Structure 1
């Protein structure tokens, strides 16, 4: 296969799944690690992909770009499912938790609908819909009001004011990006303010983020890496990134997605 043909195939793979690992491309095309990295460098120079630790992702349109909920829900589905399954094991019956907006927390909600006596605080319309449709009668769901974002989050001063009166045992926070330099970030300024209020309302912070979030930087920081007691990621995250995150976070959990996504 010629280099141009291989690069076109790589681009199709990234477009289909949202990201790809160098090791996967080496196995797929039977070429060296160095050849794959040169291909990724070529595509990145053309502005077609974004290089990240251990692989590449779709181009990040900028620190304020925010894809819609439906668009994001189709990306890294297997990874989000594995992350959500583990996060669900950390939720005790009868506890009060908060779930931020996001497709990973929405996936988690579907694993929590059977937990007895659970109180859920959320600023996510899709998350609240899951509990409304499938939850138990002994569960309580508190939905904060606010201005609706492209990711179906409710944000702004109304949401912040409501959250300032609440206290929960644990917050499970989905993020747009994470970086050692700026921490956990979002591309929406109002959502950052609301997420910060969620962080302050919780005694414990658990962040859920698939490997494509590594190295992405949104315009506003929600929290430092050190603020997370636990970070749950998938095995697509490079070894170098894991080592760097472990320097900042006490409990880094790496989960393995199943081939079927179930």
Structure 2
């Protein structure tokens, strides 16, 4: 049940009974036991993960069910190998990546998977998975984003090594590289990149060719770019950015 809950966030009595092949009475008893252990919160007709019983910021709620983010997450999960240590900053795209990582059974087999993050919502969901070691960096939290930054987070990060840093961005161009809107957030992400063997930037095509305020890293530092197919008015400009990324050695994955 916890495995299902970590993937879906919510479970109903009837659907859980059908998926697990048990009676609804059994499901209700198990829901009650999970609630007693404070692993879930009871709601009418089912339960939600204790980690999401609070009200998520609007940007997370509005992105739930976004198929493009789910595709990005699934592709990143293919790039990660069992036993690796994966760092993730906060954001809707990296949240989708975290859910895909913790839902992929191959990654949860021994020796398991380690997730290092400054996003409280990612940590709260990942900790429900039995074979995921979850490290929350701590620091000063922003209520609008559930992300932590500052000296405490930086000091914790300096004690760790990452195999892969998965980075969500505000903007991405070949000239300016990966960017975001806040300098303290950019500083923490730069720290993740410095401690990582590979850098995977995740973003939708809408952010290609745009620039945020604070610099994260140059384009040449990016190992993989996982993005959606450019469409609409800005498609031509986004395609040029993808071609330029490939030219500087970035492995581009369009989902």
In the alignment, the residues of structure 2 paired with residue 232 and residue 252 of structure 1 have an alpha-carbon distance, to the nearest angstrom, of 6
Q: Which residue of 2 aligns with 1:165?
A: 159
Q: Which residue of 1 aligns with 2:20?
A: none
Cα distance change, pair 73–234 in 1 and its aligned pair in 2 (3 A): farther
Q: Which runs of 5+ in 1 are unaligned?
A: 1-67, 256-262
Q: Is the contact between residue 173 and residue 241 of structure 2 (CA under 8 Å) also seen in structure 1?
A: no
In the alignment, the residues of structure 2 paired with residue 233 and residue 248 of structure 1 have an alpha-carbon distance, to the nearest angstrom, of 17
Greater relative contact order structure (CA < 8 Å, 6+ sep): 1
Q: Where do 1:27-66 residues align within 5 Å? A: none
Q: Is the contact between residue 124 and residue 152 of structure 1 (CA under 8 Å) also seen in structure 2?
A: yes
In the alignment, the residues of structure 2 paired with residue 151 and residue 223 of structure 1 have an alpha-carbon distance, to the nearest angstrom, of 22
- Which residue of 65, 90, 97 corresponds with 2:86? 97
In the alignment, the residues of structure 1 paired with residue 203 and residue 150 of structure 2 have an alpha-carbon distance, to the nearest angstrom, of 23
How far the C-alpha of 1:89 sits from its partner, in A, is 0.7
How far the C-alpha of 1:100 sits from its partner, in A, is 1.4
Aligned length: 186
Quick check: 1:118 aligned with 2:113?
yes
In the alignment, the residues of structure 2 paired with residue 247 and residue 73 of structure 1 have an alpha-carbon distance, to the nearest angstrom, of 37
Quick check: 1:147 aligned with 2:140?
yes
Q: Which residue of 2 aligns with 1:107?
A: 96
Q: What secondary structure does 2:73 align onto?
A: helix
Q: Is the contact between residue 69 and residue 103 of structure 1 (CA under 8 Å) also seen in structure 2?
A: no
Q: Is the contact between residue 69 and residue 102 of structure 1 (CA under 8 Å) also seen in structure 2?
A: no
Q: Which residue of 2 aligns with 1:250?
A: 250
Cα distance change, pair 72–181 in 1 and its aligned pair in 2 (3 A): farther
Q: Which runs of 5+ in 2 are unaligned?
A: 1-55
In the alignment, the residues of structure 1 paired with residue 57 and residue 174 of structure 2 have an alpha-carbon distance, to the nearest angstrom, of 26
In the alignment, the residues of structure 2 paired with residue 72 and residue 154 of structure 1 have an alpha-carbon distance, to the nearest angstrom, of 16
In the alignment, the residues of structure 1 paired with residue 83 and residue 175 of structure 2 have an alpha-carbon distance, to the nearest angstrom, of 37
In the alignment, the residues of structure 1 paired with residue 59 and residue 90 of structure 2 have an alpha-carbon distance, to the nearest angstrom, of 14
Q: Which residue of 2 aligns with 1:224?
A: 218
What is the TM-score with the length of structure 2 in the denominator? 0.68
What is the TM-score with the length of structure 1 in the denominator? 0.66
Q: Which residue of 1 aligns with 2:59?
A: 71
In the alignment, the residues of structure 1 paired with residue 58 and residue 181 of structure 2 have an alpha-carbon distance, to the nearest angstrom, of 17
Quick check: 1:241 aligned with 2:236?
no
In the alignment, the residues of structure 1 paired with residue 248 and residue 60 of structure 2 have an alpha-carbon distance, to the nearest angstrom, of 27
